[in-house]
Chains A and B, each alone.
Chain A
Amino acid sequence: MNFELIYNNFFIIISGLDETLILVIVSLSLGFFISIPFALARVSSIKILSKSVYFYVFVIRGTPLLVQIYLIYYGLGTIEYVRESFLWIVLKDPFYCGVLALVLNTVAYTTEIFRGGIQSVTIGQIESCKSLGMSRIAMYRKIILPCAFRQALPGYGNEMILMVKSTSLVSLITIMEMTGLARNIMYKNYAPVEAFLAAGSIYLFINFLVVQFIRFLEWKYNPHLRINS
């Protein structure tokens, strides 16, 4: 166990931290906002809407993220039509391909999490809304969505951690985030344990912060569950 190597590797791998964090933040934010209308579509009574979203969720959740990443980056890159269209401005860059794959993936899972949250709102609450004469939009805005988010917090927290880990897969399409840098070190120095320890501990730390953040949100948005309320 070469401690000097771990120390040096640490700084090399930290240089990839900004790339990892940007991927996480951009993909999670886009995923969060896109999932809301998707979840609403899933619970809507318009069959074609809910069935199409379900089909999308089904396909994304049934295939590995790696296959999706490769399809978007290499697969789309071989289609002449794509290369000559305006899409190429985005798809040429591996970063955007990575974000696209991560967003598509997280939307599928988050949609189901939000759907669970929406459907957990009890019928009693919905009846109260209707008896108060709330419009559908008001009902959603004031009661259903806030309740749904609160319910979805634990599940979504898990999704956030999965996103942090998923960013490591984009190292396979030439993005030099932390896993890519760690792998590079493993090739050059044949010191896998040192590289792994350096990179792994940073990921663990990020996930630790995510867990604390979710705990804080759960504390903040569940005032009725606090001990001294």
Chain B
Amino acid sequence: MKKYILSLLALSLLCLGTIANAKSIRIGTEGAYPPWNNLNSAGELEGAEIDFGNEACKRMGVECEWVTQDWDGIIPALLNGKYDIIIAGMSITEERKEKVNFTNGYMTDGARFAVLKGSGLENLTVAGMDKVNLNGAGGKEQAAIGQLIAAMNGNTVCVQSATIHQNFLDKHMAGAVKVKLYPGVDEANLDLIAGRCDAILADVGSTMDYMGTDVGANVAFTGPTFSGGVFGDGVGGAVRKEDSDILEMWNKVIAEMITDGSLSEITKVHFGRDISM
């Protein structure tokens, strides 16, 4: 009786789902993270990673199907089988490696604080360092962070939740600044303009894109550009641990696109500079 009911349940659930076709790859992306990936008013996805993904699929000879998913559910949806790979500006971190495998990095961008012009927090410099790499962080890097904490003490910093930027603030600046979490970067940007945030922490590309819009004209960078350490090692595609074949396919095509320079061309179009790895 129990087995009968369970089998009915399983059958009905199987009918509700479909199994992925081997000849097409479903790619999960956020669709709210310009210029990496975003939806436009025509309802289409556009951005550096969209171009990259489409080109990669062409080279691999498979059909690409893009699926959008909110950032906070993006890894669970991969594990749920909603798509086969995540290409959404996701940085390669040890924490995430526990749940998914990453392809080799294909793009990399630093993280930087941004504030409103005239807020008094612009143009913060720390120990004369433009770039702070937290890999193997030594005294110099710690001092830089310490200076930043002193300058921003008591302020509110806004970040997108479940990101490396949130991890950085939780690990290095907890207690010194008030952290506000948002489901997407644009909500954080809205609150920066509204004055609810003193600063935001996001990657350089995304903030630069925002500064290019008319509402974001008043935003300016401050402090050094961070990379490494808790910020991970570049942006890679995330796949389920058992899909090693998908992983290999993508690593091959990524290596190909790096060597022949097409990846760097794509990034130059969308970011205005070469951020390929």
Contacts and interface: CB of A to CB of B under 8 A. Distances in A.
Interface of A: 74, 77-78, 83, 92, 94, 172, 174, 176, 180, 183-184, 187-188, 190, 192
Given A92-B196, A190-B75, A190-B76, A184 B181 contact: yes
Contacts of B72: 183, 187
Nearest to A187: B162
A139 B187 CA distance: 52
Contacts of B75: 190
Contacts of B182: 174
Given A83-B195, A172-B183, 19 more contacts: A74-B190, A77-B190, A77-B194, A77-B196, A78-B193, A78-B194, A83-B194, A92-B194, A174-B158, A174-B182, A180-B181, A183-B72, A184-B181, A187-B72, A187-B161, A187-B162, A188-B95, A188-B162, A190-B99
Interface in B71-130: 72, 75-76, 79, 95, 99
Counting chain B residues whose Cβ lies within 8 A of the other chain, the interface size class is 20 to 34
B194 A174 contact: no
A171 to B, nearest CB: 9
Contact of B190 (A78, A184, A188, A190): A78
Nearest to A172: B183
Contacts of A188: 95, 162
B180 interface: yes
For the complex of A and B, the 7 pairs showing the least CB-CB separation, nearest first, are A77-B194, A187-B162, A174-B180, A190-B99, A74-B190, A92-B196, A174-B181
B233 interface: no
B46 interface: no
Nearest to A97: B196
A126 to B, nearest CB: 51
B191 interface: yes
Contacts of A92: 194-196
* A174, A180, A184, A188 pick with most chain B CB within 10 angstroms: A174
Contacts of B162: 187-188
A183 B71 CA distance: 13
B140 to A, nearest CB: 29
A83 to B, nearest CB: 6
Contacts of B161: 183-184, 187
26 contacts: A77-B190, A77-B191, A77-B194, A78-B190, A83-B195, A92-B194, A92-B195, A92-B196, A94-B196, A174-B158, A174-B180, A174-B181, A174-B182, A176-B181, A183-B72, A183-B161, A184-B181, A187-B72, A187-B161, A187-B162, A188-B95, A188-B162, A190-B75, A190-B79, A190-B99, A192-B76
